[in-house]
Amino acid sequence: MKTSLDGYSHLDSPLHRWEPRLKLIGLLALISAFAFVRELYLLPAMLAAALALLLLSRLPVRFVLRRLRYPGIFILALAVILPLFSGETVLLSAGPLALHQEGLLEFLVIAARFAAILAVGIVLFGTAPLLTNIRALRSLGLPSLLTDMMLFTYRYLHELATDLRAMQTAMRLRGFRAVKPDARSLGGLASLSGSLLVRSYERSEHVYRAMTLRGYGREPRAPEDRQITPRDTAALLCTLTAAAAFVAAEVAL
Amino acid sequence: MHLPDGILPVSVLAAGYAATGAVTWYSMRRIGREEDPREGIPKASLLTAAFFVASLIHIPVPPTSVHLILNGLLGVVLGWYAFPAVLVGLFFQAVMFQHGGLTTLGVNAAVIGGPALLAYGIFRLRRLRPASRTLTGVLGFLGGAAGVGITVLLLFALLITTIPAELDAAAERTAIYALVLAHVPLMLIEGVFTAMVVLFLLRVRPELLGEKRRPPEVAVR
């Protein structure tokens, strides 16, 4: 389950240099504006904006494509379903199958929105270490319960995945094969999940004690936020203007 | 089993975020009433990570295999932490695997976390007869099955009523019923699985189900 969520956060680009809090505000505003878009004429502009951000971020193309692959399956399914079953104007027909104009247009809008939102999301979380982004979220006012949980969960995710793999290997070595959902297979897998929960629970008790010893629970030192430069603010203004423009265009058209 | 970006109209996305914000706020208030709310955070987070990982376990259902959602079990084990846990888990699935999405985070969290809290409510009926293993198993089954059942119902209702522009209401209802019926086997598997895990935890670590910790056994000589 090894993933390189922020594997390219060390690169240097205008987006990497952008102050994390302002970047979060700006790009999340842009993402929300993209969700508004339904007008066909706005799609090229939206895709161009997303592409420009991707290029500006200098994230490797392969990295971006790999992240688009998995959710692309869902979109492909829609590409089949919508044009065939939704709409009235028939564009093409072959036997019982007919390609409908409304469904096709609907699909284009969904696919474009999907690609643009995902691209901006990848830029947002690919151009800074996750810890920096979580700290930025915290200083923007996300409750500490949520940010603490994010940090912990992220910290132990890979470790527990490794634990799970080791336990699964051990089960296989002892002759466990799950082929159908009968009582034996389900029982084995249930014990596996239960053990995983118990292990993580026990570990969390140790972690909590160790952290209390190191002063967890006291008011944390205020993390030093990066200075906001005029360039950061200008970038934020540009992004917010673009976001507002998309929403305004959508409402006006 | 979550909705990706780009599909839902903005009004639904906003409603999803509003619902998620409200439930998170209420959950945090309930958590804040505990003796030491900080103590729960490492536990809830490691269990969140464990659930995240456990949902990768595949159950063979020939000719294919399914992975479980486990939101019922999550509600049973985490109680009021379940909703923030779902939110955090879905956030990571969205940013790490592009599974789900940032704009749909609110909707997905409401659709998965809401039923998790319901499963917690069902499981708390255990107080009626705390000693009964049968009741614990039955409530585990109900919690697991209801958790995934309601999630599936909400998801398909959302998808079908929002996407295709012109489908008549009767056809929409039929489609929702058909899709939910197709998921009944999954509900049964999830229910049985949840009951099994709950009974396992009751045997091995009852504290995980909210029981008081037993005093350590001291050998008396």
pLDDT digits 0-9 by tens, A67-80: 887 777 777 877 77
ipTM, two decimals: 0.87
At A169-214, the pLDDT tens digits run 999 999 888 877 788 888 888 999 999 999 988 888 888 888 888 8
Restricting to B residues 15-34, those with a Cβ less than 8 Å away from any Cβ of A are 24, 28, 31
User: Could you tell me the sign of the dihedral formed by the alpha carbons of A169, A170, A175, A179, in that order?
Assistant: negative
Mean pLDDT of A224-231: 80
Residue B121 touches partner A, C-beta closer than 8 Å:
no
Residue B156 touches partner A, C-beta closer than 8 Å:
no
* Higher local confidence (pLDDT), B133 or B212: B133
Q: What does the buried/exposed string (b/e) look like for A137-164 if buried means 16 or more CB atoms within 10 Å of the residue's CB?
A: bbeeeeeebbbbbbbbbbebbeebbebb
| B197/A190 CB distance under 8 A | yes
d(CA B38, CA B16): 28
Residue B216 touches partner A, C-beta closer than 8 Å:
no
pLDDT band at B167 (very low <50, low <70, confident <90, very high): low
Enumerate the domain spans of chain A: 14-137+228-252, 143-213
Q: Which residues of B touch A164 (CB under 8 A)?
A: 53-54, 56-57
* Higher local confidence (pLDDT), B221 or A98: A98
d(CA A109, CA A93): 22
Q: What is the pLDDT of residue A32?
A: 92
From the list A103, A115, A104, the residue with the least C-alpha distance to A46 is A115
Q: What letter does residue A219 receive in the DSSP assignment?
A: P
Q: Which residue of B has its CA nearest to A202?
A: B43
**Helical H segments across A127-229, by residue range:** 130-139, 144-173, 183-213
At A98-144, the pLDDT tens digits run 777 777 888 888 889 988 999 999 999 989 988 889 989 988 989 88
Mean pLDDT of B209-218: 63
- Of A48-52, A222-226, B39-43, B166-170, the one with minimum mean pLDDT is B166-170
CATH 2.60.40.1120 fits B10-209, yes or no: no
Q: Are A177 and A64 in contact (CB under 8 A)?
A: no
Query: What angle do helix axes B184-204 and B71-78 make, rounded to 10 degrees?
Result: 30
Q: What is the pLDDT of residue B219?
A: 56
Q: What is the pLDDT of residue B143?
A: 93
d(CA B23, CA B120): 14
Of A5, A149, A189, the CB nearest to B96: A5
The three-state (H, E, C) secondary structure of chain B, written as one string: CCCCCCCCCHHHHHHHHHHHHHHHHHHHHHHHCCCCHHHHHHHHHHHHHHHHHHCCCEEEECCEEEECCCHHHHHHHHHHHHHHHHHHHHHHHHHHHCCCCCCCHHHHHHHHHHHHHHHHHHHHHHHHCCCCHHHHHHHHHHHHHHHHHHHHHHHHHHHHHHCCCCCCHHHHHHHHHHHHHHCHHHHHHHHHHHHHHHHHHHHHCHHHHCCCCCCCCCCCC
d(CA A144, CA B212): 27
Q: Which residue of B has its CA nearest to A150?
A: B88
Angle at B169 between CA B165 and CA B172, to 5 degrees: 75
pLDDT above 90 for B213: no
φ and ψ at A92, to 5 degrees? -140, 145
pTM for the predicted model, two decimal places = 0.88
pLDDT band at A87 (very low <50, low <70, confident <90, very high): low
d(CA B171, CA B193): 33
Mean pLDDT of B168-186: 78
Q: Which residues of A touch B13 (CB under 8 A)?
A: 35
Q: What is the pLDDT of residue A179?
A: 79
pLDDT above 50 for A54: yes
| B60/A74 CB distance under 8 A | no
d(CA A229, CA B160): 47
At A58-68, the pLDDT tens digits run 888 888 888 88
Restricting to A residues 51-80, those with a Cβ less than 8 Å away from any Cβ of B are 67-68, 70-71, 74-75, 78
Of B98, B163, B204, the CB nearest to A198: B204
Task: List residues bridging with B65 in a β-sheet.
Answer: B60
d(CA A9, CA A200): 29
**Both tokens assigned to B152:** 């599936």
Q: Which residues of B touch A196 (CB under 8 A)?
A: 50, 53-54
At B2-35, the pLDDT tens digits run 788 888 888 889 999 999 999 999 999 998 887 6
d(CA B95, CA A122): 7
Cβ–Cβ contacts within 10 Å for residue B9, how many?
13
Of B47, B54, B101, the CB nearest to A201: B47
Cis preceding-peptide flag for B42 (omega within 30 of 0): no
**Burial degree of B161 (CB within 10 A; 0-12, 13-18, 19+):** middle
| A106/B163 CB distance under 8 A | yes
Mean pLDDT of B70-74: 91
User: Could you tell me the sign of the dihedral formed by the alpha carbons of A205, A208, A210, A212, in that order?
Assistant: negative
Query: What angle do helix axes A43-57 and A101-126 make, rounded to 10 degrees?
Result: 20
Give me the amino acid identity at A112: A
From the list A161, A197, A81, the residue with the least C-alpha distance to B47 is A197
Q: Any idea of the CA torsion for A65, A70, A76, A77, to the nearest 10 degrees? A: -170
d(CA B51, CA A93): 47
- Of A28-37, B23-32, B61-70, the one with minimum mean pLDDT is B61-70
Residue A252 distance to chain B (closest CA, Å): 16
pLDDT band at A1 (very low <50, low <70, confident <90, very high): very low
Mean pLDDT of B71-78: 92
Cβ–Cβ contacts within 10 Å for residue B30, how many?
13
Q: Which residues of A touch B52 (CB under 8 A)?
A: 153, 157, 160
Give me the amino acid identity at A190: A
Chain B contact probe: residue of A201, A205, A213 with most B CBs at under 10 A? A201
Q: What is the pLDDT of residue B1?
A: 62
Q: What is the pLDDT of residue A173?
A: 94
Q: What is the pLDDT of residue A38?
A: 86
Q: What is the pLDDT of residue B186?
A: 87
| A153/B163 CB distance under 8 A | no
Residue B118 distance to chain A (closest CA, Å): 21
At B94-125, the pLDDT tens digits run 888 888 888 999 999 999 999 999 999 999 99
Mean pLDDT of B199-215: 80
Q: Which residues of A touch B213 (CB under 8 A)?
A: none
Residue A13 touches partner B, C-beta closer than 8 Å:
no
pLDDT band at A2 (very low <50, low <70, confident <90, very high): very low
Q: Which residues of B touch A67 (CB under 8 A)?
A: 98
Q: Which residues of A touch B47 (CB under 8 A)?
A: 197, 200-201, 204
Q: What is the pLDDT of residue A77?
A: 79
Of B39, B50, B165, the CB nearest to A197: B50
